[in-house]
Amino acid sequence: MTLVSFIGSGNVAWHLAPALDNTDFAVREVYSRNPAHASALVDKLYEAEVKATLDFSTSNSHVFIIAVSDDAVESVVQEIILPENAILVHTSGSLPLDVLRYAATPDIGVFYPLQTFSKSKKVDFKEVPLFIESENTETEKILISMAKAISKHVHKISSQERKAMHVAAVFASNFTNHMLTVSQEIMKENKLSFDWLKPLIAETVNKSLTIGPENAQTGPARRGDFETLDKHMEFLQQDESVAELYKVISQHIVDKYHS
Amino acid sequence: MTLVSFIGSGNVAWHLAPALDNTDFAVREVYSRNPAHASALVDKLYEAEVKATLDFSTSNSHVFIIAVSDDAVESVVQEIILPENAILVHTSGSLPLDVLRYAATPDIGVFYPLQTFSKSKKVDFKEVPLFIESENTETEKILISMAKAISKHVHKISSQERKAMHVAAVFASNFTNHMLTVSQEIMKENKLSFDWLKPLIAETVNKSLTIGPENAQTGPARRGDFETLDKHMEFLQQDESVAELYKVISQHIVDKYHS
């Protein structure tokens, strides 16, 4: 049994800690700047306790998982006090391994789950791809076995590759979702039901993942139908920022398929 | 039994004609500028024949469905010769009912299936929302019964509403799919597998449709994490047009959630 402590109780910790707790990597401590949040997460775990400070010098844990927002990682690294032989990892898609370099342990690594997490939505961790990085072979071995305990999809990846993948993930997830938000707003403004678009959205993504997004592309920009593009721009003229989105994305599609 | 003729054999006709052919609205004729395309569609139908010209004066059909690209609709309307009492409809999301006004029949309407169609991908028409417009009560009745014969989701909608919905659909479907294309390109350029992103993409859309896209929004722009946004912009600097997409969409998210 390997004992684990979490620093952070946000969306990633909220799903990752309970997933680990069901395996040989039991979670024993949760620290959060907001103790109420730590307490809510501890309630989902078997034997974990809320940790009030970042002083883990007397902790029995072997793996310490930093799951805080990117801009808070550095201050955690500066403040945290670890026991001997501790492994320290972060879970960020965009931060390099190097941000952990100044921690008082040589055993550092990255444990990055590539998924979108919200507290209100359950996730099947078995299907979440996990990306591992470490320069230390022994640490890497432990992180990989920890990853394999909760997911079927475990990959080794470098900081540089992870950064590229994170940018790609922003397009694939965050921007895709924002397109749906804009779409919902247009429907709402025109007193139309967003539900009417749901079969289209589900089929779009289903098709894209089946035959590949390039083969799946349709619509006025893909057809080079400039008359419709002009009409849509005219329709959107009352909302300058949405019109700009429409223009820039359509232009990018036109340039890709018609030049 | 109501007989139906198709003008056009593209993506919409490819799925709509066979769906109707299984109901009391049997398809008997298919016209296409490219007779080989018409012939391929006819092969999927029970008793239909390829029609060589737009002269339907001796046709036994009652409903004529124009399913050609938006910019070709007008010339079809000018050329087509219809039998007496014919109903003429188009299937476009963005064209008003008015484009059919100059046809030699007063019985005009719109029959718009809101879905993304590609010949290579099967579609369950029962789940495709169909939007009907007609100023003639009798015509509307026939179009609604034709729609209900193939789909569980039939709605009446005006030209203006349909236009708004089409713009929303471009965001929801075409732009969403293009985000996946850009994401795939970034993965490819960095020799990473696009497959790794697929669980993220599936979950993003699943979550968005379950809890609503605004509640589902995550990522650096949503968090107002400008350090990561800057790093991503720097990463994308070798591809100006992708960097512009990243910037404009991120800015739109930041403005929405942080101002």
Residue of A nearest to B155 (CA): A196
Distances in Å between the alpha carbon of B133 and those of A94, B90, B109, B150, B235?
A: 50, 10, 5, 17, 49
User: For residue A81, what are the CA distances in angstroms to A36, A56, A95, B106, B123?
Assistant: 22, 5, 21, 82, 58
Question: Residues with Cβ < 8 Å from A184, sequence gap 6 or more?
Answer: A194, A197, B168, B212, B213, B214
- ipTM of the modeled complex: 0.91
Residue B176: name the closest of A213, A244, A179 by CA: A179
* pLDDT tens digit sequence for B91-106: 999 899 999 999 989 9
Nearest CA in chain B to A161: B190
Whole-Å CA distances, B71 to A223, A224, B68, B77, B99: 11, 11, 8, 11, 11
> Taking CB atoms and an 8 Å cutoff, what residues of chain A touch B170?
219-220, 232, 246
- All domains of chain A, ordered by start, with CATH? 2-157 (3.40.50.720), 162-257 (1.10.1040.20)
- Number of residue pairs across A and B with CB atoms under 8 Å? 313
**3 state SS of B35:** helix
CB A81 within 8 A of CB A56: yes
With CB atoms and an 8 Å threshold, state whether A70 touches B225.
yes
Q: Which structure tokens are listed for B194?
A: 């696009």
Q: What is the CA radius of gyration of chain A?
A: 22
Nearest to A69 by CA among A16, A101, A32, A119: A32
* Interface touch B190/A161, C-beta < 8 Å: yes
Contact residues for B15 (Cβ-Cβ < 8 A; gap 6+) = B113, B115, B117, B123, B125
Nearest CA in chain B to A153: B196
Query: Hey, are the CB atoms on A129 and B199 less than 8 Å from each other?
Result: yes
Chain B CA closest to residue A94 = B228
Nearest to B129 among A118, A199, A222 (CB): A199
Question: How long, in residues, is chain B?
Answer: 259
B30-63 residue pLDDT tens: 999 999 999 999 999 999 999 999 999 999 999 9
Task: State how beta strands B2-7 and A154-156 pair.
Answer: unpaired
Nearest CA in chain A to B241: A252
* Facing residue for B203 by CB, picked from A123, A168, A223: A123
- Select the residue from A130, A156, A179, A254 to test the B interface by mutation, using most B Cβ atoms within 10 A: A179
Classify B212 in phi/psi space as left (phi over 0), alpha (psi -120 to 50) or beta: left
Interchain contact, A169 vs B197, CB within 8 Å: yes
Give the pLDDT of chain A (259 residues) as one tens digit per residue. Answer: 999 999 999 999 999 999 999 999 999 999 999 999 999 999 999 999 999 999 999 999 999 999 999 889 999 999 999 999 999 999 999 899 999 999 989 999 999 999 988 888 888 999 999 999 999 999 999 999 999 999 999 999 999 999 999 999 999 999 999 999 999 999 999 999 999 999 999 999 999 999 999 999 999 999 898 989 999 999 999 999 999 999 999 999 999 999 8
Token digits for A227? 């008359």
> In the prediction, which pLDDT does B119 show?
85
Cβ distance B199 to A115 less than 8 Å, yes or no, reads yes
Interface test with A, best of B118, B182, B191, B247 (most A CBs within 10 A): B182
- For residue B80, with 0-12 CB atoms within 10 Å meaning exposed, 13-18 middle and 19 or more buried, which class applies? buried
> Which of A115, A167, A196 lies closest to B232 in CB terms?
A167
Burial classification of residue A59, based on how many CB atoms lie within 10 Å of its CB (0-12 exposed, 13-18 middle, 19 or more buried): middle
Would you give the distance in Å from CA B68 to the centre of its chain? 12
Percent of chain B with pLDDT over 70: 100
CB contact under 8 A, B187 and A177: no
* Cα B166 to Cα B208: distance, rounded to the nearest angstrom: 20
Q: How many angstroms separate the CA atoms of A123 and A215, rounded?
A: 29
Decide if A108 contacts A83 (C-beta within 8 A): no
pLDDT of residue B118: 83
Check A197 against B170: CB less than 8 A apart: no
Structure tokens at B234: 């720097």
Burial of B140 (C-beta count, 10 Å sphere; 0-12/13-18/19+): middle
CB B125 within 8 A of CB B180: no
Task: Please give the structure tokens belonging to residue A255.
Answer: 């340039």
pLDDT at B26 over 90: yes
Q: In what order do the strands lie in the sheet with B108-113?
A: B49-51, B25-31, B2-7, B63-66, B87-90, B108-113, B130-133, B154-156
- Read off the amino acid at residue A235: F
- How far apart, in whole angstroms, are the C-alpha atoms of residue A25 and residue B27? 63
| Chain A residues within an 8 Å CB radius of B184 | 168, 212-214
Distance CA B63, CA B108 (A): 10
Q: Which residues of B touch A213 (CB under 8 A)?
A: 177-178, 180-181, 183-184
